[in-house]
Amino acid sequence: MTVLFLFLLLFLLMFIGVPIAASLGLAGSITIMLFSPDSVRSLAIKLFETSEHYTLLAIPFFLLSGAFMTTGGVAKRLIDFANACVGHIRGGLAIGAVLACMLFAALSGSSPATVAAVGSIAIAGMVRSGYPQAFGAGIVCNAGTLGILIPPSIVMVVYAAATEQSVGKLFMAGVIPGVMLGLALMIAIYIVARIKKLPALPRASFREWLRAAREAFWGLLLMVIILGGIYTGMFTPTEAAAVAAVYAGFVALFVYKDLTIRECPRVLLESGKLTIMLMFIIANAMLFAHVLTTEQIPQQITAWVVDLGLQPWQFLLVVNIVLLIAGAFMEPSAIILILAPILFPIAMQLGIDPIHLGIIMVVNMEIGLITPPVGLNLFVTSAVTGMPLTSVIKAAWPWLMLLLSFLMIITYIPAVSMALPNLLGM
């Protein structure tokens, strides 16, 4: 009865237009007041505990780092470097856009930020060179999802906080899948470009390539600082996020000088707004998860699934279907915080590695970002290009098939995710 009331109330509130964060908080609070022996004061304590979670401290710093990098012109330099590397290949501008998304993903940790930063420059460049606008929009909308798969990733930080797993191990597990998906998109673009006879840039001379690499050097160095610092044990992922924010601000202000001191308050305010919005969702989602745990719902569902006798592959298929449906309607962090406490104990019982489960969930969240009606990347691409949302959905759809095929590989070949962490003895 409690479970039914909790979920019915959640979906009712969302259906009548209450924001997701408020729906989660209200559903959890009302359920505790009506059905739980817990005091209402436990709600305030739970919200406070959420704000104390050390791992989640990485989120505002990664958002701030991404804001400095986006505002400070790093994206343009990364795109120029990517074009110098692969622009001479047929379809090279689109391939360069994917490479730029991969590079920027390793700086920002956010998919919408990756689409906004790369898309605003790359799509216009493709259109000027003779590419159809819909083709460029579809590419960047899909490639932008790499923002949450290639480390550092805000969604991975949220999963680590929800399941008490190692952020560093999750980051490492995302490297090979992220590179694989980027390469798969590049190969698909090359095949389409050959068929459609899309244009190519003149081959960059070594001097031009060197100049582009030198310009992008400070942005590329941030990846080395973040990942190198974590894996050499110099600092934790949360400390790495703080270092990244300070470094990104320094580069934007004093190296590239694309940002002035007077513009800093605006950048801080924008990243602060994003942080508050995301943390408000996380706090309410954790409150909802607290109700689930208090009512022993994950344990009951685990026992039920075990009694059904599902094989691990069958369970993972159900997980993918549930996550793909949820991803079309909700924000990734909220989905992770609601479903991870339910799926995690079942996965452990069935012998599925929790890090592997985390990567499966992240790839599902990627697909959710380009699935209507609530796909964030679709809205960002529409805003960047000025295209109607329906046109963006149509442009992104063919590439979505590639992501679904990739999801099957990640789900049923655990070695893709686990090879690097195992190799490093993590």
Q: Please write the tens of the pLDDT for every residue from 241-270.
A: 888 889 888 988 888 888 888 888 988 898
Which span out of 12-21, 83-92, 206-215, 226-235 was modeled with the highest average pLDDT? 206-215
Residue 51 has pLDDT above 70, yes or no: no
Residue 199 has pLDDT above 70, yes or no: yes
Residue 373 has pLDDT above 80, yes or no: no
Instruction: Give the pLDDT confidence score for residue 190 in this predicted structure.
Output: 92
Which tokens is 98 given? 């994917």
Helix (H, G, I), strand (E, B) or coil at 350: coil
Burial of 233 (0-12, 13-18, 19+ CB in 10 A): exposed
Name the CA dihedral angle for 57, 60, 66, 72, rounded to a multiple of 10 degrees.
Answer: -120
- Rounded-to-integer distance, Cα 19 and Cα 30, Å: 16
- Rounded-to-integer distance, Cα 238 and Cα 3, Å: 35
Instruction: Give the pLDDT confidence score for residue 362 in this predicted structure.
Output: 94
Residue 229 has pLDDT above 90, yes or no: no
Q: Which residue, chain included where needed, has tokens 């590239």?
A: 256
Residue 316 pLDDT level (bands cut at 50, 70, 90): very high
Radius of gyration in angstroms for the set of CA atoms belonging to the chain, rounded to a whole number: 22
Computed over every residue of the chain, the mean pLDDT equals 85
- Rounded-to-integer distance, Cα 294 and Cα 352, Å: 24
- Proportion of the chain above pLDDT 90, given as a percent: 21
Would you tell me how many other CB atoms lie within 10 Å of the CB of residue 255?
14
Phi, psi of 295 (to 5 degrees): -85, 5
Tens-place pLDDT, residues 266-299: 888 988 888 888 888 888 877 777 777 777 777 7
Burial of 104 (0-12, 13-18, 19+ CB in 10 A): buried
- Rounded-to-integer distance, Cα 145 and Cα 78, Å: 17
pTM: 0.85
Residue 61 has pLDDT above 80, yes or no: yes
Instruction: Give the pLDDT confidence score for residue 122 in this predicted structure.
Output: 86
Residue 64 has pLDDT above 70, yes or no: yes
Which tokens is 25 given? 């908080």
Nearest to 27 by CA among 9, 48, 11: 9
Instruction: Give the pLDDT confidence score for residue 72 in this predicted structure.
Output: 60
